[in-house]
Amino acid sequence: MYYKRLFSILLPLGMFAAAAPALAGEARDQSAAPRPRVIVTSDGEIDDECSLVRFLLYANEFDVEAIVTSSSQYHSHGHNWAGDDWIEPYLDAYAQVYPNLVQHDPAYPSPKLLRERTALGNVKAEGDMDQQTAGSQLIVRVLLDDSDDRPIWLQAWGGPNTIARALKTIEEDHPERMAEVVAKLRFFFIWEQDATYQDYIRPHWGQYNIPTIISDQFEAIAYRWKDCQPRRLHKYFAGPWMTEHILQGHGPLCSLYKAHTGNDDGFAAGDFRSEGDSPAFIHQIPTGLRSTESPNWGGWGGRYVRVRDNTWLDPVPVTGYSYPAGRWYADTAWGRNSSRTGAAAETNQNHLAYFRPVWRWSAALQNDFAARADWCVNPPDAANHPPVVRLTHDRDLTVRPGETVALDASETADPDGDAVSFCWWRYAAADSYDGAVPIAGADQPRATTTVPAGAQAGQTIHIVCEATDAGAPPLTRYQRVVLTVEE
């Protein structure tokens, strides 16, 4: 392919960094949003270790502000503890593949930078937040730094206790800066794996309505994935696929990935084990779905609904369901309970539908993972890179009932010169119009849709342009067009 040949010429000259922005292009590209700033807190569970492998392969997509070991109801000192330095082998392995990764994208952070931003947080016990720690102090420094006002996604892969400790330090030492700090905060919690969100963060910081996603949909790619995903998608998580694309022949980082060994009931050697924490950062990958603009819009990390204040939980497909007032975690979350033996018939009937906001992207997500694994060992001209979806018009359009709207992604490009196929589709769960919306030419770069005559002012219609290249593995990116009806 032309671009692959071009890569092999430009890279030795150090020109890939200069060439990439021309491809990323203008503000209509899916990568145009400011780079997300992220802080990871993790309890070092085996699925955290798997999630960390994927996270490091996507570290070029974020500004990684901190990686902090915390605790949870499942893991702490003296209780199934992975060790204070469990991250070290993964950072060592990242350092080994970094020279290859940076050929594919110069935005990959250096191993030195990641080490400088890795620290031990509050790990003595479940919910520990009594004392300041190196990890909590690192979070405090990031939050108080007024040189960058971009949003910061604080992710709790375990308990949010080290995050809570950092916020408590700010409340005690800098109360006048609390409003300034929360203006940047975004929370994404994988369950509430301790009580500190309810016991400290909500009572002391709740007045600020910090945007908070608490996910139970993560179960779709956690230990019970076979129970949460349709059988037709299991091939992307089964041993043969994982062995070929991740576990073997992809360098030291991927070789650390802890797939099943074959000694576990219902799983074969090489089967995907669990990445229950990955949605916390997958949500911020700039795929073009614009999922960070609203939790309700949906993306690779799931889709969420506002339940109270600014707290967003998983949409439960049961009429009249009442969300619990307190923690959303293993004992209360609807999806986890629907997985338990003896769950009610109605619960079982809606079980797969509940996890669909995550598993609907499984093929694209896993193929993208496989491509990143290739980047660890292959030069750019021997690996695939995702297409860049460009619209010739704005992503947000004001429309009238009955109007025919032209949708145009004809400037979409693939960096490897691969052919690109298109699929325009309506994301009905994310919009507010209740009715059919026809799309003509849905398999072409140019399509049209007609706004229904009965659409009311203020209603929205979400149309997604999905573009998939013909590379190996095939990679998919998107552009979401939001139509807002006016009178």
DSSP per-residue codes, 113-169: HHHHTEEE---SSTT--SS--HHHHHHHHHHH-TT--S-EEEEESS-SHHHHHHHHH
CA distance 304 to 259: 29
Q: Which domains does the chain have, with CATH numbers?
A: 33-296 (3.90.245.10), 387-485 (2.60.40.10)
Binned at pLDDT 50, 70 and 90, residue 25 comes out as: very low
Confidence (pLDDT) at 9: 29
Tell me if residue 253 falls in helix, strand or coil: helix
pLDDT for 115-158, tens place per residue? 999 999 999 999 999 999 999 999 999 999 999 999 999 999 99
CA distance 305 to 315: 6
Average pLDDT estimate for 385-405: 98
Angle between helices 362-375 and 46-57 (to 10 degrees): 70
Q: Element (H or E) spanning 367, and its range?
A: helix 362-375
Lowest-confidence segment of 205-219, 345-359, 368-382, 470-484 by average pLDDT: 345-359
**Whether pLDDT at 442 is above 50:** yes
Confidence (pLDDT) at 26: 34
Average pLDDT estimate for 197-218: 98
Binned at pLDDT 50, 70 and 90, residue 487 comes out as: confident
**Whether pLDDT at 231 is above 50:** yes
Cβ neighbours of residue 79 closer than 8 Å, sequence gap 6 or more? 125, 126
CA distance 126 to 194: 6
Average pLDDT estimate for 441-450: 98
Both tokens of 377, joined, read 């060992």
**pTM over 0.85, yes/no:** yes
Q: How far is CA 149 from CA 144, 156, 213, 222, in A?
A: 10, 21, 21, 34
Tell me if 463 sits within 8 A of 480, measured CB to CB.
yes
Confidence (pLDDT) at 7: 35
Q: How far is CA 275 from CA 103, 220, 225, 237, 280, in A?
A: 27, 9, 10, 11, 10
Average pLDDT estimate for 231-240: 98
**Whether pLDDT at 187 is above 70:** yes
Confidence (pLDDT) at 23: 30
Binned at pLDDT 50, 70 and 90, residue 244 comes out as: very high
Of the CA atoms within 13 Å of residue 141, those in its CB half-sphere come to: 11
Cβ neighbours of residue 269 closer than 8 Å, sequence gap 6 or more? 239, 259, 260, 261, 262
Of 352, 236, 225, 213, the C-alpha closest to 276 is: 225
Average pLDDT estimate for 100-115: 98
Strand order in the sheet with 404-408: 404-408, 446-450, 439-440
**Whether pLDDT at 32 is above 70:** no
Confidence (pLDDT) at 126: 98
Task: Give phi and psi for 240, each to the nearest 5.
Answer: -60, -45
Confidence (pLDDT) at 24: 30
Q: How far is CA 99 from CA 93, 95, 108, 109, 439, in A?
A: 11, 8, 10, 11, 45
Q: Element (H or E) spanning 420, and its range?
A: strand 420-426
- Other C-beta atoms within 10 Å of 384: how many? 26
Binned at pLDDT 50, 70 and 90, residue 345 comes out as: low
**Whether pLDDT at 417 is above 70:** yes
Confidence (pLDDT) at 2: 33
- Other C-beta atoms within 10 Å of 23: how many? 15
